[in-house]
Amino acid sequence: MTSNSALSQFADLSPEKRQLLFEKIRQKKLNSARRPVNQEPLSAEGNPVHLSPHQATLFPRTADTVSNRLVELSFKGVLQLERLQQKLQQLHAIYPTLGAKLDSTRQQFQVGECPSAELIQLSLDAPDSDSPLSGVRSELQHRQHGHNALHLTLVQQDNQPSRLLLAAHPLLLDSYSLLRLGNQLLAMLFTPVANIELPDQCSQASFANWSQQVLDKKFLANEWSRLAPKSMLEQPEIATSSTSATHTEQLNSEFLLAHLPAGISAKQWLCEAINQCLYSWLSHQDITYWFSDPSLKDSEFENLLGYFPYYVPVQSQKVEGQRFNAASHFANLHTRFSPVSEQLAQSLCQKGSPVPLVHYHWFDVDNADANEFELISAEHISSGLMLAPFEVHIIEQVDNINLSIHFDSDRMGSDQIQFLVRDLLALLKQDTHNDPANRPSLADQLRAIWKDLLQVPDIAPGKSFFELGGHSLQVTEMKFRIKQQLKLDIPISVLYELPTIEKLSSFILATHGNSLGWVPEGQTEEVEEEEGTL
């Protein structure tokens, strides 16, 4: 029973504080509704690999001849097939679904053994090394799934970069998971398995159980009905596409050096240009595009590999007449839709989308010795299954960005895609803000990185990265962002030990301040420059 004192205190609140209190209570109810009631494992009968509701929805919508998702990692260095197979077996013990086999008759995955990696040695006599490589890619893309739903192929040729190709049934691993699998395999060559972020007491079965329970919650279903874009609820079902054409573009280090504005991340710069470009094409649509947001996955399953179709809808009318800020806009969308991530994903799987899906990934192999291994590029070659007429995949590395656009050639022409890329490159070459004098302070740059990672609109002074919801995966990405944006390779132990903006920026200023052009507070330009080291 509510006391008279509590009622009196509530009556004394201003309307704004009452609304804030209501929102806190609502958020608490939403979070509570996302916690599973039944922790019992699902029965394996009729569902050996425990399909999530999203996978189960899409299986009947896909053709029997669905093609594979394909990722290609090219690098300099020697990788022995036996060593690769050993690391794959270690990961299979952690992710049993990597050994899944497709049962197309029953529309499900069966439990299988660890897939075997294969080695292909391209002939030195080939006049064009791309021609046989294209044949390998095509064969992997269309390989049947009678044995394994995941295939790994190591391609080697003397005096040419080696390539690791990962092909998977598109409903087994999404693009984020397939790239992460490749990253983990390469990282394990240089890092003990114990130091790599891997699942801890979570599995595909537990995720499928949790997801179904969340979908069954009436309160969350009502919340989704309130938040869902009107056009999504009213649109007819959009057919999926299992075959696509691809246009690729690389923004190399010279392009980034010439055009990336000072003081902002490559991600924000590119996302803002893509938003402007797509808005000019699709301003008549209620939703301009869907932006991938893997962090919508519940934190309990953050390290799990699988198929997780999490996106947030970017609506054109919300930013019309305003300057689009990618970091703050995506953070607000994440906050808004995170309570109903399962309902959103399920609706997208059921209906598809008439507008594009945009995926942003980062890829870096930590602890690799440059003398032994050098990553050249990471490319998303094929989607295998598309829920929209076209998808944009961006993979950011430290020194370059690979852009792949997969499109349904029955619904879009290659000339349309070329016009889109031309417009995007023109926007990226606008250098009106590329003035080093406008570079924000170190603390402001770190704060911008944190906002983007944590999907929060602001960071109060003295707040710890972990108090704000940061976890180990995001610490790894923070290390990459600092390396990419500030050109500093900060030990990951330092990021754990100095978890506030103030402590971390003080450390960088003390050790690298002069070499980066920043002067620690209290010093002047007359102080003799001395380059610090970690």
Same domain flag for 444 and 432: no
413 in any annotated domain: yes
Same domain flag for 152 and 215: no
Same domain flag for 86 and 215: no
What beta strand segments (E) does 9-63 contain? none
Same domain flag for 446 and 398: no
Same domain flag for 254 and 333: yes
Domain total in the chain: 3
Strand order in the sheet with 69-77: 118-121, 150-156, 162-168, 69-77, 373-382
Same domain flag for 390 and 261: yes
Buried b (16+ CB within 10 A) or exposed e, 358-392: bbbbbbbbbebeeeebebebbbbbbbbbbbbbbbb
Contacts of 161 (CB under 8 A, 6+ apart): 74, 75, 76, 376
Same domain flag for 343 and 480: no
Question: DSSP letters along 269-307, please?
Answer: HHHHHHHHHHHHHHTTSSEEEEEE-GGGS-GGGTT--S-
**Cα 523 to Cα 521: distance, rounded to the nearest angstrom:** 6
Same domain flag for 312 and 270: yes
Same domain flag for 422 and 332: yes
35 in any annotated domain: no
Instruction: Centre a 10 Å sphere on the Cβ of residue 166 and count the other Cβ atoms it contains.
Output: 23
CATH number at residue 118: 3.30.559.10
Helices 266-282 and 442-454 meet at what angle, rounded to 10?
60
pLDDT on residue 434: 43
pLDDT tens by residue, the chain, 534 residues: 455 565 566 566 667 666 666 667 777 777 777 887 666 555 555 557 889 999 999 988 876 667 899 999 998 888 889 999 999 999 998 888 999 998 877 778 888 889 989 999 887 655 555 678 888 998 998 887 667 899 999 999 878 889 999 999 999 999 999 999 999 998 888 777 666 666 666 788 889 999 999 999 998 999 999 999 888 888 888 888 877 889 999 999 999 989 988 778 888 899 989 998 888 788 778 889 999 999 888 888 888 999 999 999 998 655 555 678 888 888 889 888 999 999 999 999 999 999 999 999 989 887 655 567 788 999 999 998 999 999 999 999 988 999 999 998 888 888 888 888 988 999 998 754 444 445 567 788 888 888 888 878 778 888 888 888 887 778 888 888 888 777 777 888 888 888 888 888 888 777 765 444 444 444 434 433 333 333
Same domain flag for 386 and 482: no
Tokens of 435: 């003035």
Domain around 444: 440-516
**Cα 427 to Cα 431: distance, rounded to the nearest angstrom:** 9
184 in any annotated domain: yes
pLDDT on residue 407: 92
16 in any annotated domain: no
14 in any annotated domain: no
45 in any annotated domain: no
525 in any annotated domain: no
Same domain flag for 247 and 295: yes
CATH number at residue 382: 3.30.559.30
Asked whether the beta carbons of 207 and 42 are under 8 A apart, the reply is no
32 in any annotated domain: no
Among the candidates 385, 403, 436, a domain finishes at 436
Among the candidates 414, 436, 458, a domain finishes at 436
pLDDT on residue 73: 95
Among the candidates 418, 436, 454, a domain finishes at 436
Nearest to 384 by CA among 6, 25, 26, 63: 63
Helices 218-227 and 204-215 meet at what angle, rounded to 10?
70
Same domain flag for 350 and 301: yes
Task: Please return the burial class of 471, using the count of CB atoms within 10 Å of its CB with bins 0-12, 13-18 and 19+.
Answer: middle
* Cα distances (angstroms) measured from residue 302 to each of 202, 295, 325, 360, 482: 9, 7, 26, 17, 22
Give the helix/strand (H/E) hosting 185.
Answer: helix 175-187
CATH number at residue 471: 1.10.1200.10
